Amino acid sequence: MSDELPDRLAVDPDSPYYNEAALERGVGIRFKGQEKTNVEEYCVSEGWVRLAVGKTLDRKGKQLTIKYSGTVEPYWREPAGE
C-alpha cells in the first residue's frame, strides 16, 4: 500500500469508498483542527466529514450521520511497515 491517503474514505463496507487496507492501517482525522474519532466518511477535496450521531440508527439499521463542511486533514495513525 502506498503512503498516499485516500481523498475519500468510508467505514461502511457497502460504500464504494470503503478501503479495508487503509482502515486496517489506521486513518486519523483532524476536522477544523480538532481530532475526531466518530467519523463515518470524509472527503478532502470537497471539504466535508460525516460524523456519527450517538447510537441512533436509520431505517436500514445504519449509523445516523450528519454532514459538516470544513477543513479535513487525514493522517496515518501507524507508519508503514509496522
What grid cell was written down for 7? 481523498
Please name the residue that has the C-alpha cell 480538532.
Answer: 34
With beta carbons less than 8 A apart as the criterion, state whether 76 and 1 touch. Answer: no
Residue pLDDT tens, the chain, 82 long:
568 899 999 999 999 999 999 999 999 999 999 999 999 999 999 999 999 988 989 999 988 999 999 999 999 987 766 5
| pLDDT, position 34 | 95
Domain ranges for the chain, please list them. Answer: 8-76
What grid cell was written down for 12? 461502511
With beta carbons less than 8 A apart as the criterion, state whether 32 and 22 touch. Answer: no
| pLDDT, position 31 | 96
First to last CA, the chain: 13
